[in-house]
Chains A and B, each alone.
Chain A
Amino acid sequence: MTKPHSTTSPPSLQTITEDNSTLKLKIKGALNAYTTSKIWTDSLTAIKTAKPSQLVVDGSEIDYCDTAGIAFFTNLQIRQEQLGGNFKVEGLSDEINKLYKLFDAEQLKEPDVSDSIHTENKIEAAGRWGYEAWEEIQVNIIFTGRVTVALIKAILRPDKIRWKDVFITCEKFGANALFIIALVNFLVGLVIAFQSAVPMKQYGAQIFVADLLVIAYFKELGPLMTAFVVNGRSGSAFAAELGTMKVNEELDALDTMGLDPVPFLVVPKVIASLLMLPLLTVFGNLFGLLGGLVVMFSLGFTLETYLNQLTIAATYGMLISGLFKTLFFAVIIAGVGCLAGMRAAKGPSAVGDAATRAVVVGIVLMIVVDGIFGVIYYILGI
């Protein structure tokens, strides 16, 4: 039996009602996945309208039939039996019959799943949500503890730190991010200065744009903007890296070698991030103020006046308080990224999910921490 091309003309169907109770389907031609569709639908319609107690398929003029054709017969049989009638196929060639015998219609009936589906009620849903939230908190507390212990150990034994990894991460995390940090902060500085210059002008207070910018930048915008950009770049990269390692069973391999992934993989990243984020923030602050300078120039001020106004407005306290926060942001970026990666599930979307999670959780945590620092600094009067 030669296989027909997928564009072969469809087989023909002839329905013969032999007496009131018997319907005969005479099929002629080639049956495969491409050609069966029409007669399949037609046959089912014919059965539905005739409701025969006996259905006979005459296959004596079928010249090709593969499993798609057999599926067609099987489907007819299942339908017919559901309607309480009898089913018979006759006239199949030996070859096709052998194929037909391979399948058991009984086994292929769609399983009845209605019993096994259990719908969750509201109390159960709340319980599950609470349980999962509690588990989530536990995982985070345990991980924070592990990272802290590993960091303290690393500081006590600096020779045990994998410095090569630290420097590679420093380059990727810090040096390679310079351009984007400069660009983003420059533009944010420019936009903030411009937007505030318009209302300030009404009161003739344009010079105080410099005050506003430097205070906002040193205290909040510089650290936050820089940390957000770095989180998007590196937090997701950490999650993807560790997520891929998890999927490839590399984390399991470390585990079975007796190596704890936290000091081995996480600590170098945390150290690199602690070293780099404050530096990037200083850099970001500088470019934010440069953005402000452009606006100040356009308002007719000189560089000297701008710098003068900046030094009057800014204090070391502001700069240091802003930079101090970045240490916490650094730990959040590296820690959340690595944890998301280490918790990656199986499957192709796991790494993507881990990266998304790292970025989202990282941003939320940083805002929360920033808020806490805002309150502390206010009470301390910084």
Chain B
Amino acid sequence: MDKKIINVKEFTAAYGDNVIIDNISFDVIKGEKFVILGGSGCGKSTLLKHMIGLYRPAHGSILIEGDDIAKAYGQDRIEILKNIGVAYQLGALFGSMTVLENVMLPLEEYTDLKKDAIDLIARMKLSLVGLTGSEEKSPSELSGGMIKRAALARAMALDPDILFLDEPSAGLDPITSAELDQLINQLAKSLGVTFVIVTHELNSIYNIADRVIMLDKDTKGIIASGDPKYLRDNSDIPIVQKFFKRQTDEQLDS
């Protein structure tokens, strides 16, 4: 059942002459929770932005369910985008709309469902992320954790196959962060969604990730990949050790 849902091949990302990621290849398997990690400035977010089609690769290709998003235009591109959902780091909820309207927007644009049907689906998505009761609030009335969850609900509006989350737990307290991890695990299990998550929160990584890749700023490539706990215990690459160990040392100290 190991079906590849995303296929990144010989991918290079560059801003002008400035190469950020140099020739990497990896696959994401359907249904897994795949985490991209690495230190600040290593190109995690750049990789994510390429995967969701905001930027075009300098070289190589990114196939989402077999389609190259960088080479798709017009309706073809929309068809690919309908199958992915993105929750941005700061939520990117539209401030002029209520939380419910934010979730309703993709449904209104892409389906011919009746208004009350859309309303109900949106309410269900919000209940999935535990935001029942906040439907009519404006995004500015929400706390940080609620914004992240509302963004997740909006990303799920069309029941996409793949959800991309950019730093879902950044700026959240440990409890809210753990709750969000739990939510992601629950959604992956009950909806069968594939998650691609960018993060550097170690706790989240252990809680969520089925598989990780670690990007490195100096080599501009993937320095390690696999199960995070295995990497922590067995990797002999210094940077990987430092990444996983430093924080575990701190945890041991405290």
Contact = CB atoms under 8 A, between A and B. Distances in A.
Contact of A40 (B117, B157, B192): B117
Interface string A341-375: 00000111100000000000000000000000000
Contacts of A75: 116-117, 120
Nearest to A346: B140
Interface string B105-122: 001001111101101110
Interface in A10-66: 32-34, 36-37, 40-41, 66
A33 B111 contact: yes
Interface residues of B, number: 34
Interface stretch (B32-40, B125-133, B236-244): B125-133
B68 interface: no
B202 interface: no
Given A33-B110, A37-B113, A347-B96, A108 B120 contact: yes
B110 A3 contact: no
A37 B108 CA distance: 12
B210 interface: no
Given A107-B127, A348-B96, A37 B159 contact: no
B138 interface: yes
Contacts of A71: 117, 120-121, 124
Interface in A55-109: 66-68, 70-72, 74-75, 78, 98-99, 102-104, 107-108
B158 A33 contact: yes
A34 B117 CA distance: 12
A235 to B, nearest CB: 24
Interface in B114-156: 114, 116-117, 119-121, 123-125, 127-128, 132, 138-140, 156
Contacts of A98: 190
Contact of B82 (A6, A67, A72, A107): A6
B111 A34 contact: yes
A351 to B, nearest CB: 11
A32 to B, nearest CB: 6
A204 B138 CA distance: 68
Contact of A74 (B120, B125, B140, B190): B120
B114 A68 contact: no
Contacts of A74: 120, 124
Contacts of A110: 119
A37 B96 contact: no
19 contacts: A3-B83, A3-B159, A33-B111, A33-B113, A37-B117, A66-B191, A67-B159, A67-B191, A71-B120, A74-B120, A75-B120, A98-B190, A102-B190, A103-B128, A108-B120, A110-B119, A347-B138, A347-B140, A349-B96
Across the A-B interface, the 4 shortest Cβ-Cβ residue pairs: A66-B159, A347-B95, A71-B121, A346-B140
